[in-house]
Structure formats: structure tokens, C-alpha cells
Amino acid sequence: MTKFGEDWKRGFRDLILEAGKKALEDSNLHGAEIDGLFAGTMAPGPLIGQEHAGALLADWMGLNPIASTRVEAACASGGVALRQGFMAVASGLHDCVVEGGVEKMTDVSGPDVVSALGGAGDQEWELFPGATFPAIYALAARRHMLDYGTTEEQMASVAVKNHLNGSKNKYAQFQSPITIETVMKSKMVASPLKVFDCSPVTDGAAALVLMPLDKARAHTDTPIEIAASAQASDTLALHDRKSLTELNATKVAAKKAYEMAKVGAKDIDIAEVHDCFTIAEVMAIEDLGFFKKGQGGPASEKGQTALNADISVNTSGGLKACGHPVGATGIKQAVEVTWQLRGQANGRQVDGAEIGLTHNVGGSGATAVVHIMKRVN
């Protein structure tokens, strides 16, 4: 992956080229061996004025004439791209696929970014009347506080933990620890969510290589197996949901993934979850089955999701501290889990990690994709 952050020197194609080059070097792979490319990118049109991104990336990476496909699923674009590549290789249609995710978000104004991201929700019922994503997740936070007694300090503890992890990750956008007081005193965005409850606007890219496990062994001594890939959907508009305090798409995708991998939530050592806002991580660790509904806040406050705790969540720093270049996030999650399972997450390594999970969400939960990955002994 590239360094995440505000990158004023490089463009969209430069970012994915760097990440792709690193992935090929890591895999001891030559471009001629690749027969497919799936790239997750949400909004290159409104953000940089460029569509037809699949063809652009194949061209810029020197991979023509391979099949190259752009995948869009809002903030879950990277995770869904990973799933598309997984299905392509598992079906036997492709033997070697590069998975990429990229977004260049800082070349336009703040309002333009808000408008581009707002398209991930219901344009008619949410964005047009003025509901931004901080407002939508603030509604979820308020309901969670009302139903379960979740506190602002508990949500703040998610940010503190993720910024601490990010301080140990050279690729993270924010690399300084913060305190509960830092979060609580930061400016209000949409009550009760403050600046430090929200993920940032970010430039960045990530990439990895998929191939059948027997062929992967010829390219690396530390192949990582994708044991499960599952995706589910829900209503685009928040007002049509049965509950404001859970993402049903996450619950359905997680159930399918656990069944496919023949594991349970208790077997997961590490998880990269979609913490676009601190309340999103609280709900995610509940919906994924790590903690009972309503216990995500207390578990976060008690340190049960810290490095080498009950379950290590967002060791990369998550979207909150590592950054959230929306199309790249789902791939970055898989890269982080790969490093953890290989024992290569220097400074933030989880002891003896063998099974990891990634959880990538589009919009306010209309799309959720879950992958389970295992270390191959």
C-alpha cells in the first residue's frame, strides 16, 4: 500500500502504480503472468473528472490487454473488488488476478467531497434534504445511547485505541496518539459525533495478488488463504431499516462467512472493521458477533479490542487513524490482515495471529462484505 494521507505530489494513477508495483514485488511476479485486474474506486468522476478507471489502470500499470474491471460499491468498493477477484480465481476463470483499490480525494473542495460521498446514501431522501453521513451515523449513535446506555466517552475510546495503533503504522495518515480529552474537546460535527469521532478525507491505494493456493506457493513462502468471502445488502435509506443500532447486511454477511470458513466469531484473532465513525466500530464488533448487542461500547472502554486483547480490532489504525481513501479501504484491510498473519506487522504485531477478518461497508450499511483469512501452515 501507499502512505495514506493528503498527497499533494501524486495523482490517482501514480498511487495505484506504487501499490501495484509493491504487490508484484512481494509476489515475485512478472506482469505477463497476470490475467485479470479488479480495481475498487468509488468516485473518480466527481473527485478527479476521470471515469473508465478499469481501462486507465490496466494501461498505466502496463498490463494491457488483460481484462480490467472497475468495481463500485460506495465505501465497500475495495472489499467487493476483492470478492470479485476471489470468485474469478476460485471459479477457475482466472489464474492470477491483481486486486487494487484507490481514491484521490483531496483535489476538490470539502463540499465537493461531501457531495461525492453523499451519493453512497439515498440521494432523494437523504442527501438532497441535507443529511450528510456524519448526521446519519449520529442518528445511529443517539439511538444506541438511548437503547443501551452507550456513552460519548466509550465512543471516544475507539478513536483513542485506533490512533494508538495508527501511531505504530508507518502507512497511517495520523501517527500521533490522542486522549479521551482530545476527542471530547474536539469540535462538534453532528451531535454526538465530534471531529475525532470521524474518519478523514484521504488519498491512497492498496493492492494484492490472488491465485490458487498451490500456485501461490511457488511465489511466496507465506501464502495467506481466503477461507471465506460473503456479501449482503440492505436498504439504501436509513429510514427504511428495522433498526438504527445494527447493520443487518453485516450480520448476514458475517453469518455466511463464518459458515463458509467453518469458524465462529470466537475463533477470530484480528479484525479490520469499517470504523468510518467511532459508533460504526461499536456496532460492527456487535454485529460481527464479537460482543453482544449493547456491549460494544463498554468492551471498547475496557480495552477488550486493543492489541493482544480479547480480539485485536483495527490494528492498522482503522479508517479513523490509518485513513479512508474510500475505494482503497477494503483492500487495505486485507493487506493489514495479511501482514498480521505473516508476522510482518512491525510494532503492532498480534501474537500468534492465525485467523483474521475484514469488514467493509458501503454507505450507511446498504452493502457489507466480510472476508475471513487464514495463515497457511
Task: Calculate mean pLDDT across residues 68-85.
Answer: 98
Instruction: Please provide the average confidence, as pLDDT, over all residues in the chain.
Output: 97
Least confident of 116-125, 269-278, 348-357: 116-125
Q: What is the pLDDT of residue 377?
A: 78
Task: Calculate mean pLDDT across residues 285-290.
Answer: 98
Q: How confident is the model at residue 208 (pLDDT cuts 50, 70, 90)?
A: very high
Q: What is the pLDDT of residue 141?
A: 98
Cell of 22: 509493491
Residue spans per domain, the chain: 133-201+221-375
Q: What is the pLDDT of residue 255?
A: 98
Q: What is the pLDDT of residue 236?
A: 95
User: CA triplet 317, 322, 325: central angle to 5 degrees?
Assistant: 140
Strands 224-233 vs 97-103: parallel, antiparallel or unpaired:
unpaired
Which of 94, 144, 274, 324 is the catalytic position? Answer: 324
Output the pTM of the full model.
0.98
Query: What SS3 state is found at 348?
Result: coil
Q: What is the pLDDT of residue 131?
A: 93
Closest to 281 in 3D by CA, of 255, 241, 315, 256: 315
If you ran DSSP here, which 8-state letter would residue 124 be given? I
pLDDT tens for 148-171 read 999 999 999 999 999 999 999 999
Task: Calculate mean pLDDT across residues 256-262.
Answer: 98
Is residue 75 part of the annotated active site? The answer reads yes
Whether the pLDDT of residue 31 is over 90: the answer is no
Q: How confident is the model at residue 192 (pLDDT cuts 50, 70, 90)?
A: very high
Residue 111: CB atoms within 10 A of its CB come to 8
Q: What is the CATH number of domain 133-201+221-375?
A: 3.40.47.10
Task: Calculate mean pLDDT across residues 285-307.
Answer: 98
Which of 75, 96, 198, 322 is the catalytic position? Answer: 75
Least confident of 119-133, 192-206, 288-302, 354-368: 119-133
Strand order across the 312-313 sheet: 224-233, 367-375, 355-362, 270-272, 312-313
Question: Whole-angstrom Cα distance, residue 270 to residue 335?
Answer: 13
Question: Whole-angstrom Cα distance, residue 120 to residue 243?
Answer: 19
Question: Whole-angstrom Cα distance, residue 100 to residue 121?
Answer: 24
Q: How confident is the model at residue 176 (pLDDT cuts 50, 70, 90)?
A: very high
If you ran DSSP here, which 8-state letter would residue 122 be given? -
Q: How confident is the model at residue 29 (pLDDT cuts 50, 70, 90)?
A: very high
Q: What is the pLDDT of residue 182?
A: 98
Is residue 359 part of the annotated active site? The answer reads no
pLDDT tens for 47-57 read 999 999 999 99
pLDDT tens for 133-144 read 999 999 999 999
Q: What is the pLDDT of residue 30?
A: 87
